Amino acid sequence: MRILHVVGARPNFIKLASVHRAIREGTCFQQTILHTGQHCDACMSDVFFRQLDLPQPDLEIGARSGASVSEMADSIFQSSQLACLRPDLMMIYGDVNSTAAGAIAGKKLGTRIGHVEAGLRSFDPTMPEEANRILADHNSDLLFTPSEDADHNLTREGIAREKIRRVGNVVIDTLTRSLASARFTRFPLLERHALVTLHRPSNVDKDSSLQQILQALIRISEIIAVVLPVHPRTRRTIDKIGFRSEGANIRLLDPLPYLDFIALERDAAVVITDSGGVQEETTFLRVPCLTLRDNTERPVTVDVGSNTIAGSNPESLHSLVSDVINGSRRKGSVPALWDGYASQRIVTCLKEEFA
């Protein structure tokens, strides 16, 4: 049994870590990792492999972040090493461009495809990730879902029920295993802070949109310290508009390694984000989360009370943060099967499927 894992971006590595480990410890399957290169710098890639105890990728196609889905798919399909490998199953993760590229390449190769974190939908067709999710799901043979709403989304779209396996959330597997090792050594710990992450094109690519968000963060910094690890995409716009945080209680950091980030996340009073994975992590950590978007593909985090959709207008953030600081927002609960064992359930499914 030969499994090929296709990954390319930071969220993929977090999901891969727990699945790769569970397969390694629970089966004798042969595993190969293909890195598309979507995130290729040390802060966004290399350090994640080291901290998450992942072996270095066996194959790298070097597509880089500027490559389109179709370019990545062609590069994967044309890899001479991949032709020799002839995997029995290609595993793809999440909703980034590398995920959709893997789905296309897998179909070209005639390889069965398993999609980890299948069935999520924001119902926002303007999001590139939404197209990636739909493409990945409709080309996959095994769909590993994190929650009940994901199952319903897939069956509503006509995907056969027998392809769907609800296993829980592999992001939580990696989080629970890493919390004991989480550390924050490069900067003094803040007793009380708001952690902010921004990377969605709708928030950071347009000068005026990011400027409004940054102005809102300056106001928030008057009532609580703000810590913002700056994504490379966000950094480009910040440099373009010439934003400086002098005079405000805002700390701009370079992208953080995984363990450093979850330490900041765990100790935050509130998290402001446009990231899907951060919505999940804060739910498990019982840290109030404000999502700076008009929608979420993870509505279960809103249902259990940990996440609030703040909308795309940052003017509401100040009052929402004030509510959290004043204790008027509940911390929520943890969804079913977000217990740290989703990857083991995937292994059980694979053993049954390929017996």
SS (H, E, C) the chain: CEEEEEECCHHHHHHHHHHHHHHHHHCCCEEEEEECCCCCCHHHHHHHHHHCCCCCCCEECCCCCCCCHHHHHHHHHCCHHHHHHCCCEEEEECCCHHHHHHHHHHHHHCCEEEEECCCCCCCCCCCHHHHHHHHHHHCCCEEEECCHHHHHHHHHCCCCHHHEEECCCHHHHHHHHHHHHCCCCCCCCCCCEEEEECCCHHHHCCHHHHHHHHHHHHHHCCCCEEEEECCHHHHHHHHHHCCCCCCCCEEEECCCCHHHHHHHHHCCCEEEECCHHHHHHHHHHCCCEEECCCCCCCHHHHHCCCEEECCCCHHHHHHHHHHHHCCCCCCCCCCCCCCCCHHHHHHHHHHHHCC
State the Cα–Cα distance between residues 25 and 41, nearest whole angstrom.
Answer: 29
**Residue 193 annotated among the catalytic residues of the structure:** no
Given 152, 199, 231, 318, which residue is catalytic? 199
Active site positions, annotated: 199
